[in-house]
Structure 1
């Protein structure tokens, strides 16, 4: 999917978008004023009357006492008033059901909330200079392909070789690590491009957040777990990525994880499976479903695969602190709220927003502060 969100189409900036607004199925990110896949707004009565006049060459009334025409049909005053009455009745019924739809237990929740609230202010990268960013690639045996790795350092830090288990060059302690797991349809570079992570990291450290490194790597569309075909992004993270980071003076025994959409799910799953390694998780719009039938096509190999990698219903991982963020108009919002409650999330951000990078950037400063605090304890 992409929103460029979370769980990715016109603008495909990344993430898991959801085609089914009620079941949160295949992902598709909507960034334009007219959401992709939605019919255009119907023209108003006045507009159609003007169009009718243009076609017929006559005014609203062709002669004294005649009635206006609409699409070749005559409209009497009685018909117009009857239409107004029906419209008013429907509006009243919609208002009565609005709270239920907004709460998520009647159909149309995403569309209604988006129509009422919109997507809110998109996050704008702060006007600061980022620290060093490196982009390298390596051959992943776990994923059977070449992958890219992006490392963003806070200002004043550079890649360096370690001189011991607990110290970097010159005895400098290794820099704490936050893994960044991308959404479906994205790649590691999205952390620096669409998310503007290096710039936000620089602003966070300038504001007093303890410094740490952001690291992303290509995970494909695997949903960050081993697939039937042998693609194993989890093994890549633990057995291939972390050893490479250790040689750059980055601490890898305990670390945090941030992710959006598919990556939000992946971060939660990683913590669940390896709580001894993860200190904190900040998940944006996590692509999580209640059942295999509701999941996006290709997210899991089977119902058994879904259950083996279930996040909702598994409870919090011991020793891990959580932050969950999701926009009100995001299809994953109802499940994300259940997740936050089940995981006893230390922080949450449920507010105006959609499944897109505009929302994910807006929430990133709070997530970086949350991660920085957890890593510095």
Structure 2
């Protein structure tokens, strides 16, 4: 089955569309990557989305407008991916949507909201769409994140030692072979917030870590940030920009700091908290993906914080680092239409595994494949 996975993470800069050929062969799920296209949000939509994120209060009218405009942006990316990567022969679209709120309190997740109305995607592509994948795990008592943990467990199955899959997006998360999975804390979220803050909105992020490379970490600020109670919570746990946003930085105290010193401090914060999480699960190697892998200063600092533990990107194992999450959601949607669960309760804390998401029929109605009895235990990435 040719499947398109759509993803926009907590950096909310673009819609990534990855296409894959997926097939079940006994207890093995085979994935052949067909490529990725990335479609940046237009400036107006990105600004509207940024203005609507917590802790801002927004009217329902704005939520409706964003749901429509994000859905249309996802639809355009899906159409392009079908045309350019699948030759117009895609059979399914899987949309993560855009997370705008993750309701976490007292160690529990009570709800989660992703915008991007899937009807726009189904109408534009004519294909069935699996969307709203996180809510079922939350309803089953889980964290709803990291939702890619099942894919990581299948992908790393049989690899020697204790390999850890690490994704560095706006929020960083990891998955260990024993099923332990959790958000480690900020990935690029605070880096992006500081870049916008110091540039008056001119910069969306610290491209290539250029600002951080010119600065020195400021120990008092680092110590204040490391005192955040989230880091001491036991997994499973999840967080988001509801906690780590520009206001959080202002409260921590940026007065008097230069942009380079602030970015150097925040880069060290991300590297330090990720490294502590990696060590806590006994990792023998780290396989990283996500936008943070394109920041050489952050990657270098993470390497310094993990002496003796090899750090490589998912590209080396066949999954392009910028596209890995989009491929992972393609897998989760594929499991859904085959009636198979897309969660591991060890990772999310749910009471039971769940078949994820809701399905919007395509132009020709809905014809689901026969439900599968066997649950895959490994994921093989084919060249």
TM-score (norm 2): 0.28
Larger Rg: 1
TM-score (norm 1): 0.28
Indicate the structure with greater helix content: 2
- Which structure has more relative contact order (CA 8 Å, sep 6+)? It is 2
Indicate the structure with greater strand content: 2
